[in-house]
Amino acid sequence: MEDPPADFGGGGGGAAAEGPVVQVADICWPAGALPVRLIEWKVKAGSLVNVDSVLALCAPIPQEKGTDGARLPEKKVKSDRAGIVKELCSQLGQVISPGGIIVRIEECSHPIVMKGLCAECGQDLTQLQSTNGNQQTPISTATVSMVHSVPELMVSSEQAEQLGREDQQRLHRNKKLVLMVDLDQTLIHTTEQHCQRMSNKGIFHFQLGRGEPMLHTRLRPHCKEFLEKIAKLYELHVFTFGSRLYAHTIAGKDLYSCCPV
């Protein structure tokens, strides 16, 4: 027979003046279960836990006289959420009554997520589903995409603000501003129409995928000299109204070598 899941007993939630709300949940022994005796901890304060992580082992206490308690199978206390163990609320050998608090867990807000996997606690968020109200689907605070080349990497607004401040401090130290430069018609010229009479010298030919049209790109006049001079004064960023794949393909190619000016 499966062990009864530990109950969620609502715990105190606290909020700092700034930053996300920290939710602390009480993991309790189910109200309808038999009393148990705590015989072994599987975690300690500060431990990272995920959904279904084993928190402790308990021995059921027989309610009828003459029952051999040693033959009753041990019960596993499992977490119903991901987070960090905040407090162990029971002592080894202590009898835990139905509804008694076993451990307190500071819930993970999942502030950094990569392809559905939380970078803080390791929880796979794609596999979490609500079941009969006993398990709440964690809602990640990671809603901001920070890296153009890795759109699956999401961070919370607080993390994004912190990264923004660090970028600002770095620019101040380097005594540089950010210069945004458009790709098309500024640095390069790209077309689907390739003139057969035109020399292939300095033209980069590529496709964005199988079945996609062939694209032909060339650096605009004096682009190389412009970039070399302006890079000493600014941190350069490029943008385009084209697709993300198009921008990454252009940025990842050594156009200096294939498109000499």
Residue type, 47: S
- How many whole angstroms separate alpha carbon 157 and alpha carbon 143? 7
Whole-angstrom CA distances from 229 to 59, 75, 167, 219, 224 are 74, 70, 22, 16, 9
Active site amino acids:
182, 184
Least Cα distance to 188 among 223, 158, 214 occurs for 223
Residue 48 token pair: 């990272």
- How many whole angstroms separate alpha carbon 90 and alpha carbon 101? 8
Residue type, 140: S
CA 227 centroid distance within chain: 35
3-state secondary structure of 38: strand
- How many whole angstroms separate alpha carbon 40 and alpha carbon 70? 15
Whether the CB-CB separation of 27 and 6 falls below 8 Å is answered with yes
3-state helix, strand, coil in the chain (%, to 5): 15, 35, 50
- How many whole angstroms separate alpha carbon 60 and alpha carbon 105? 24
Residue 21 token pair: 């709300």
